[in-house]
Structure 1
């Protein structure tokens, strides 16, 4: 009788462990209405679509003349975001790099950013010079908007328009 009880107890233990393991291997149920995370390709397609729509809105807003269309085409070709080829350079975690390696990495990233900005400045300047003053005003307001809205938040309103933010550099005169 004792052997039978032990066998039943072992059997229930094994069944319980198997059920627990089966629950661990199944994907966790999603909350009602939750969407799965998009893939990298889906995100890239979404960003490309948003970029195209934004550029189309800007084109329509500027009401370009036929003479300005070639400048628009050159501008679009120069600023079009590069497609991601799926290849990422192998990266060591930052904590495995030496201090000089980290600084060289930061310097390389800065050089790439400067090269990108120089290309962008040339493209914008060439296109901007082809616009009339009313179009330039529209381009100033809508042409280079930050998609994350960074300049609209965090106390950065007014930068570049002669207004100062007291919290950054203290250039605004203090009141009383």
Structure 2
């Protein structure tokens, strides 16, 4: 009988401690997300454009684009410009839609993004076709940021350690 009482007391104590732990966690809220302005600063269009132009200039220098390839280069880089997006969809308008209408709207937006990606892919293939085999190797090694198995780039723009072992 004493062991049953001890077991019950142990369960009661464990339950009380768990309850106290939950109460303590509830009193210390998680850090709030950064304000929208701070999040948007990371995506400053001017900074992003400057970074893209710098990367393009570096790639062009590495590829050693010839005069005969200049038109293809210009077409390729023009296709890589970010699309001119209109204003973000109005959240209040989106909230007024029924669920099936929201799904249709999201599908339409996805179709627009897919079409833009297809256009860029076709332009990249067309440009790649005018490169010499040596230039194609340079393009393969430098045109797209390498990502690791987790999908994230490393500090040097490449993926995980396996990508850093063979600098291109």
Q: TM-score, normalised by structure 1?
A: 0.55
Whose Rg is larger? Answer: 1
User: How well do the aligned residues superpose, as a CA RMSD in angstroms?
Assistant: 3.1
CA distance in 1, matches of 2:128, 2:96: 46
Hey, what does 2:133 align to over in structure 1?
A: 133
CA distance in 2, matches of 1:128, 1:119: 14
Which of 135, 148, 152 aligns to 1:152? It is: 148
Q: Does 1:50 align with 2:51?
A: yes
Q: Does 1:123 align with 2:123?
A: yes
- How far is 1:89 from its partner? 3.4
Say if 1:46 and 1:83 are closer, same or farther in 2 by CA, change over 3 A. Answer: farther
1:1-16 equivalences under 5 Å are none
Say if 1:155 and 1:46 are closer, same or farther in 2 by CA, change over 3 A. Answer: closer
1:16-95 equivalences under 5 Å are 37=38, 43-83=44-84, 87-92=87-92
Say if 1:53 and 1:155 are closer, same or farther in 2 by CA, change over 3 A. Answer: closer
The structure where helix makes up a greater share of residues is 2
List structure 1 segments (4+ residues) > 4 angstroms apart after TM superposition.
Answer: 93-97
Q: TM-score, normalised by structure 2?
A: 0.58
CA distance in 2, matches of 1:59, 1:127: 12
CA distance in 1, matches of 2:47, 2:118: 27
- How far is 1:62 from its partner? 0.6
Unaligned runs of 5+ in 2: 1-36, 154-168
